Amino acid sequence: MERDSVVNPYEVKGNIDYEEIAKRFGVNLIDEALKERIKRLAGGELHFMIRRGIYYAQRDMNWLLDEYEKGNKFYLYTGIGPSGTMTLGHLIPFALTQWFQEKFDAEVYIQIPDEEKFLVKKKSDLTLEKTHELAYDDVANIIAMGFKKGKTKIFLDTEYAKTLYKNAVRVSRGITFSMIKDAFGFTVEDNIGKIFYTSMQAVPAFLMSVEKGKNIPCLIPLAIDQDVHFRIARDSIAKLGYYKPASIQSKFLPGLSGKPKMSASDPSDTLYLNDDDETVRKKVFKAFTGQQPTAELQKKHGGNPEICTVCQYYRFFFEDDDTRLKKIFDAERSGSILAGEHKQDLYERITKYLAGQRQKKEKALERMDDFIVRD
Ligand code: TRP
């Protein structure tokens, strides 16, 4: 059967129906009861990305919280494969991971697989030296998100290989080529590094259990496309005697052109963390709003905030207050505010945010060794 969308870590295309993908992947939608439970255990507050359904699906969250309530604390794991400057969309898993760390006083493992995009991307200028260099830039941006020193370990695959490889080999034994081929659409022409890579990504999901010599629950915040690696590795992890990881899956930040996923390789569609103000202005003012062709018509008929990227950027990032967000959406729907005004305001919020992030990143550069582990 031809599906109208492809979603896996190396390809996202077509019309994305998030509920259908959840079904296809076998993950559960996050329901109100689970939201309430997370909120209660987090001390009465729920991260806006969960509240708004940006994080919309999960595996084994209720089990994880059962364990937590029994006193069996969990750790968190997420990561990023360096391929260029980090984008706004890349921050989504780190924002939630940081929130969980704070609310649940959890330890965090962050993997920087600096071999992944080297293996996967066809661009010949993305050498292993280049991805390694980019990895350090990513680490600084990640530390800037507010992770706790002493409770956060960050590692590059090429620098933590002794620890990671040993365990990757063990997981890889329970994963067949056929599983990988089906999940990623690989053919016999694909390089063999890509085939093995899933086992590297699986390791931090049980690494703390290996280190502590007893099972520790793990929670992985991630974008839905990354679920594929863990779905494949789950049974193999369990066969080794470790807990299968719990996970919480997000939707994608839409591209500025209205594409369902911001793509790190298309500059006009994407906001990079190092975009200067003028670049941000140009991109935001060109962004797709889905508004009526003229101001007249917009005032008369209004627009659709669900497809307006400007509205979606408020929803994903730049307005965490639900009442104020509703006002923005209502104004868009009724046509009482025109795109130019929204764009100007959004532009200001983005540049302010990016300036703050860059300032924190500068400070983070001095604290890299408080976080990075090597072996
Ligand atoms: N494969 C991810 C990427 O393309 C990087 C990654 C490594 C990751 N480990 C992870 C993502 C765990 C989410 C959770 O960027």
Q: What is the tens place of the pLDDT at every residue in 107-130?
A: 999 999 999 999 999 877 899 999
Class of the domain covering 5-251: alpha beta
Q: What is the tens place of the pLDDT at every residue in 120-163?
A: 998 778 999 999 999 999 999 999 999 999 999 999 999 999 99
| Ligand 1 atom closest to residue 205's alpha carbon, by position in its atom list | 12
Question: Does residue 1 surpass a pLDDT of 50?
Answer: no
199/221 Cα distance (integer angstroms): 18
| Ligand 1 atom closest to residue 201's alpha carbon, by position in its atom list | 9
pTM for this model (two decimals):
0.96
**CA-nearest residue, atom 6 of ligand 1:** 79
Question: Does residue 2 surpass a pLDDT of 70?
Answer: no
Distance 210 CA to ligand 1 centre (A): 20
Distance 117 CA to ligand 1 centre (A): 11
Mean pLDDT over each residue of the chain, to the nearest integer: 94
Q: What is the tens place of the pLDDT at every residue in 224-270?
A: 999 999 999 999 999 999 999 999 999 999 999 888 887 777 888 89
DSSP helix/strand/coil, 324: helix
Q: What is the tens place of the pLDDT at every residue in 31-59?
A: 999 999 999 999 999 999 999 999 999 99
Buried b (16+ CB within 10 A) or exposed e, 117-149: bbbbbeeeebeeebbbebbbbbbbbbbbbebee
Domain borders along the chain are 5-251, 267-362
CATH number of 267-362: 1.10.240.10
Question: Does residue 314 surpass a pLDDT of 70?
Answer: yes
Burial class (CB in 10 A: 0-12, 13-18, 19+), 258: middle
205/232 Cα distance (integer angstroms): 13
Enter the DSSP assignment of 117.
H
Contact 245, 77 (CB under 8 A): yes
Rounded mean pLDDT, 190-197: 97
pLDDT score at 3:
65
